[in-house]
Amino acid sequence: MKIISINAGSSSLKFSLFNMDNEEVIASGVFERIGIDGSKFTIKYDGEKIEQEIELVNHTDAVKVLLEKLIDLRIIKSLDEIDGVGHRLVHGKDKYSQSVIITDEVVQDLENFKEFAPLHNPANVLGINAFREALPDVAMVGVFDTAFHQTMSKENFLYPVPYKWYEEYGVRKYGFHGTSHRYITKSVEKLLGRKDFKLISCHIGNGGSIAAVKDMQCVDTSMGFTPLAGIMMGTRSGDIDSSIIPYVMEKEGKNASEVVDDLNKVSGLLGLSEYSNDMRDILEKCEEQDEKALLARSKYVRRIVDYIAQYYVLLNGVDVICFTAGVGENSIPIRREVCEKLACLGVEIDLDANNQRGEFVKLSTDNSKIDVYVIPTDEELMIARDTLELIKR
């Protein structure tokens, strides 16, 4: 069976086409600058890479071109080979705790919840509608970033603010990167051969979040009402004192939205280093002993360690710590520094094992009290698996 995993942004559409008989990626790619001058697409398949500039007025155009190219490039013989389409959906509020077949009700909910994810939910709807138009008889599945975290207790998902804010406005921790954390959780289940384990999953990339997992269920996670909360990220501040917002508003003559925009787009690594949001650039600058880069690196590590330590106590000990996503999978120095600061918890890693990038590897030594792994995440495969499971029911 062939399944397409889709991640639709406001001006982009990423896809991966899987043969689910062996979970092989047949083709993947991205359509960029949709509705903007200079729109183009890139498709990778069978060792080839096709790039082409083409006018894409909207997502319907992008989907039409994608499906045409799949046939023109002989990746598939006909559209009848596509058995399902899985869509990454960012925000399902607290209504959706698992993936679902997409219905009119689901689409309407995405519209209703758009104030919680104004950049993402409307784009997700555009992607869904475009595929519904192009493939009206093919089942569509929605996989929510927020779903995995819906097992959190009220003690962990509520904020210490007036309770009516939760009841009337939906103010609570939702958490994100749930599809990645769930993929890591299932990978650890397969690795250990059991479901009764305690895991701290560290999804660390340009965006980042950490999840505490017990017996396959999320207990707590670092991102909150929005993806701005939690650890320090590439351009996001992570947790700060909220009183900073009105203070900076007054100092710089900005409104609240403008300050929050600064916290999302020019803070984090970029804000502290005043150089880059990319950890690779920061590490290069650290080699030059740049003071601000060194500070940004140190703070970044510290915030990750803080959350791991917090969740170690919450879970009353931990069996496995996993690193994943861009920095987690590829940054040898950051992994080493995080683990060195966890030595007091009994973490010990093999430095030779740590000298790998982008691969599954056990970092911890036999003497380590906690197993530490790098497990490359695969959200697209998780979406395809959910899609297959639901359409086969």
Q: Tell which residue, 317, 316, 313, 277, has the closest CA to residue 293.
A: 277
Inside any domain, residue 390: no
Compute the distance between CA of residue 182 and CA of residue 310 in angstroms, rounded to an integer: 20
pLDDT, tens only, 58-108: 899 999 999 999 999 999 999 999 999 999 999 999 999 999 999 999 999
Contacts of 213 (CB under 8 A, 6+ apart): 181, 185, 198, 199, 200, 201, 219
User: So which residues are the catalytic ones?
Assistant: 145
pLDDT band per the 50, 70, 90 thresholds, residue 12:
confident
Q: Do 247 and 313 fall within a single domain? A: yes
pLDDT, tens only, 223-259: 999 999 999 999 999 999 999 999 999 999 999 999 9
Q: Do 211 and 82 fall within a single domain? A: no
- Geometric angle at alpha carbon 317, from 316 and 318, rounded to 5°: 135
HSE at residue 81, side-chain half, CA atoms within 13 A, is 15
pLDDT at 218 over 80: yes
Inside any domain, residue 275: yes
pLDDT at 393 over 80: no
Compute the distance between CA of residue 80 and CA of residue 277 in angstroms, rounded to an integer: 43
Q: What is the DSSP letter of 114?
A: G
Residue 33, amino acid: R
Q: Do 330 and 197 fall within a single domain? A: yes
Domain range spanning residue 366? 192-379
Q: Does residue 296 contact residue 274 with C-beta atoms inside 8 Å?
A: no
DSSP alpha helices (H): ranges in 77-213?
104-112, 121-134, 154-157, 163-169, 178-192
Inside any domain, residue 230: yes
Q: Do 124 and 272 fall within a single domain? A: no
Q: Do 112 and 36 fall within a single domain? A: yes
Q: Do 139 and 224 fall within a single domain? A: no
Q: Do 133 and 248 fall within a single domain? A: no
Q: Do 133 and 238 fall within a single domain? A: no
Q: Do 104 and 198 fall within a single domain? A: no
Domain final residue, candidates 118, 144, 170: 144
Inside any domain, residue 181: no
pLDDT at 119 over 80: no
Q: Tell which residue, 380, 382, 385, has the closest CA to residue 20.
A: 385
pLDDT, tens only, 365-378: 999 999 999 999 99
Report the CATH number that the domain containing residue 54 is assigned in CATH.
3.30.420.40
Q: Do 23 and 105 fall within a single domain? A: yes
Q: Do 202 and 109 fall within a single domain? A: no
Q: Do 283 and 349 fall within a single domain? A: yes
Inside any domain, residue 236: yes
Contacts of 1 (CB under 8 A, 6+ apart): 19, 20, 21, 83, 84, 388
- Geometric angle at alpha carbon 35, from 32 and 41, rounded to 5°: 25
**pTM for this prediction:** 0.94
Number of domains, the chain:
2
Inside any domain, residue 176: no
Inside any domain, residue 160: no
Angle between helices 279-287 and 291-314 (to 10 degrees): 130
